[in-house]
Amino acid sequence: MINQQELWDHDAAQQYDTPGEGMFSPEVLAPTVEVLSELAGDGPAVEFAIGTGRVAIPLSGAGIQVSGIELSHAMISRLREKAGEDRIAVVQGDMCEAVAGENFSLAFLVFNTIANLLTQDEQVRCFQNAARHLAPGGRFVIELWVPQLRSLPPGHGGTVEVSRPGYLLVDTYDVLHQHVISHHVQFGPDLADGREARIGRTPHRYIWPSELDLMARLAGFELESRWADWDRSEFTEDSRSHVSVYRLTTV
């Protein structure tokens, strides 16, 4: 079993932020914050796996009261360098069980992080925990990639997802158990530690959209909206990711 504290350790937390670039770019964050702010309305929001505050900090800056749950001590420490407890309250613990409060209008779990839970049972319990946090009619938003099994050549168990100067992402699949290991290869002369290459690996359990919807129903949610991205573009059979909005119908 993967030790998530070891996976998201001090080095990972310090290297996680890429200000102004990648998932920290304004082109990514601005529509994310806009949608979440609209869905939260006048109520408070809670982020599961808040990390270093990539989304929570700008969402707080938009006037939403934000709390969070985070397993990694190192990620929380990095968040605290940018925002104090008085601004964003964070509970250290497992997002399947930890409690950050109740009667939130919005809970959200972004950037594929529900897939860090490596069993179906854990993923179902995450939905149930979201329901415990929400007021009646509250929403749970999940951002998640769509498994690219159609890209697997016959007899091969992996795909190249990203290839650009200095970075290569290769995903290897265990289709029997719905597990993926993402291999992140950074290379070139610009590595801070002077090495020629650095390899990091992150495990996931992938979830089909239909399976995610069933998990939601088991926890008392119904699907309200699904888009291909935060720009609310149409979700189609060719979409590589989705933003799904679930509304709590039972408590």
Q: How far is CA 11 from CA 5, 14, 79, 193, 203, in A?
A: 11, 5, 14, 11, 18
pLDDT at residue 200, rounded to an integer: 84
Q: Which of 186, 204, 222 is the last residue of a domain?
A: 204
Same domain, residue pair 127 and 71: yes
pLDDT at residue 182, rounded to an integer: 92
Same domain, residue pair 58 and 170: no
Same domain, residue pair 61 and 10: yes
Same domain, residue pair 22 and 79: yes
pLDDT at residue 190, rounded to an integer: 65
DSSP per residue, 12-77:
HHHHH--TTSGGGSHHHHHHHHHHHHHHHTTS-EEEES-TTSTTHHHHHHTT--EEEEES-HHHHH
* Contact of 245 with 39, CB cutoff 8 Å: yes
pLDDT at residue 7, rounded to an integer: 61
Same domain, residue pair 106 and 219: yes
Report how many domains make up the chain. 2
pLDDT at residue 38, rounded to an integer: 98
| CA atoms of 50 and 100, how far apart (whole Å) | 12
Same domain, residue pair 99 and 44: yes
| CA atoms of 122 and 204, how far apart (whole Å) | 12
* Contact of 140 with 246, CB cutoff 8 Å: yes
For the domain that residue 104 is a member of, what is the CATH number?
3.40.50.150
Question: Range of 185's domain?
Answer: 149-204
Same domain, residue pair 52 and 124: yes
pLDDT at residue 3, rounded to an integer: 56
pLDDT at residue 160, rounded to an integer: 87
Three-class DSSP category at 107: strand
pLDDT at residue 1, rounded to an integer: 46
Same domain, residue pair 159 and 136: no
Q: Which of 172, 188, 204 is the last residue of a domain?
A: 204
Same domain, residue pair 133 and 46: yes
pLDDT at residue 188, rounded to an integer: 80
| CA atoms of 145 and 118, how far apart (whole Å) | 15
| CA atoms of 238 and 146, how far apart (whole Å) | 9
Q: What tokens were used for 245?
A: 């909005």
pLDDT along the chain (251 residues), means of 10: 56 68 89 98 97 96 98 94 96 97 98 96 98 98 92 84 89 93 84 73 94 98 98 96 95 59
Same domain, residue pair 186 and 212: no
Same domain, residue pair 60 and 93: yes
Same domain, residue pair 80 and 36: yes
